Amino acid sequence: MSLTATPPTKTTRASRTRPGLLTIALAVVVLALVPIAVTTDRFLSLGNARAILASTALVGITAIGATLVMIAGSAVSMAASQTATVVAMVFLATLDLGLAVAIVLALLGGVVVTAIQGLAVGYWEANPIVLTIAAGFAIGGGSVWFSGGTPVNAATGGYQILNATPLGLPLAVYVLLLLAVVAEWILRRTTAGRQMYLVGENRAAARAAGLPVGRVTGVAWAFFGLCLAITGIFLAAFNTSATTNLAGTLTLDAIAAVLVGGTAIAGGKGSALRTLGGALLISVITDVLLLRGYSTGIQILVKGVLVLAVVVLVHVRGRR
């Protein structure tokens, strides 16, 4: 019996090079967005470009972490906004201990809270959607208790360094680029990253093959928690105070960025660098709608429709 691989047919080679439905759809969205954007008042200004990059950084940092979670087959987290908000409150409230201490405490809080959820998903196979909805309520309630329902203000002014603009760009943009590179390296060059793809592709098969499914899932969620904590810290520094609705639509924006970047919601496929492009697209869409005077409700509606379209296209592609 011969073990020689069968050479790919012309049809197979063509299907590999033919752009997918999602790629075509996103190209159509971009082509439609360009004329709308360039004809929008103040869109082409330098100040607006910086605002777009700042928005991309906050959404993108969260989305980079969410990419690893989704690749590992844990779907999405519905508690991103609440976690970032609590981290922001902790950061501002502990600034009197020093900037370094406040950052460390905030990072630890974000990682621990999120990693616990990941361990529940990985070891006990808890439903990530149900779990994170419950966690969102609990964390949101914790933020109200912590703040007493009033804004949490900075204890000192040591946070200004986080609002620096080296070479004219917000510091958060450089952090986003660094995290994207680190996440891509983890996914492509480390054993843990490769195992995330395998676990996301088929969790039962990965477990049967002896892969540490619980540990791999926990690592993905811990990295997500780190990214959420960094987002919360930058949100706190930018706003100089934190309220219970500080993070706004961060959860939806991050999910949209990950899906638009081509990461499979069922797991096993995705890229941190493509998520970076998805975050930029979401920020541009939000900026255009804002400059044209559309309400927050319309902005959420447009992004929701975009996410729905992506999910449908991915489902159609999967059936094929």
Which tens digits make up the pLDDT trace of 21-43? 777 878 888 888 889 898 999 99
CATH numbers and ranges of domains, the chain: 49-319 (1.10.3470)
Question: What integer pLDDT is reported at residue 10 of this predicted model?
Answer: 46
Asked whether the beta carbons of 85 and 244 are under 8 A apart, the reply is: yes
CA dist 5 and 275 (Å) reads 34
In this prediction, residue 315 carries a pLDDT of 66
Q: What distance in Å separates the CA atoms of residue 269 and residue 263, rounded to the nearest whole number?
A: 6
pLDDT at 8: 45
pLDDT band at residue 317, thresholds of 50, 70 and 90? low
Q: Shortest CA distance to 242 belongs to which of 173, 126, 131, 152?
A: 152
**CB burial class (10 A; 0-12, 13-18, 19+) of residue 111?**
buried
Express each pLDDT in 211-236 by its tens digit. 999 999 999 999 999 999 999 999 99
249 — phi, psi (to 5°)? Answer: -95, 30
Question: What stretches of 100-201 adopt beta strand conformation (E)?
Answer: 152-153
Structure token digits, residue 188 = 């492509």
Distance CA 199, CA 201 (A): 5
Confidence of residue 11 (pLDDT cuts 50, 70, 90): very low
User: What average pLDDT does the structure give for the chain?
Assistant: 89
CA-closest candidate to residue 214, choices 318, 115, 82: 115
The pLDDT assigned to 3 comes to 41
> Which amino acid would we find at residue 255?
I
Strand partners, 241: 153
Q: What is the pLDDT of residue 12?
A: 42
pLDDT at 17: 47
* pLDDT one-digit tens code per residue, 51-87: 999 999 999 999 999 999 999 998 889 999 999 999 9
The whole model's pTM is what?
0.89
Is residue 4 predicted with pLDDT exceeding 50? Answer: no
Q: How far apart are the first and last CA of the chain?
A: 31
Let me know: does 88 contact 139? Beta carbons within 8 Å.
no
Encoding tokens for residue 153? 């203000």
Alpha carbon separation from 282 to 44, 71, 150, 252 (Å, rounded):
17, 20, 31, 10
**262 is written with which tokens?**
């081509």
- Per-residue pLDDT tens over the stretch 112-158: 999 999 999 999 999 999 999 999 999 999 999 988 889 999 878 78
**Distance (Å, rounded) from C-alpha 119 to C-alpha 74?**
11
| H or E element that contains 210 | none
Structure tokens belonging to residue 222: 């811990």
What pLDDT does 182 receive? 97
Q: Which two tokens stand for residue 122?
A: 């990985």
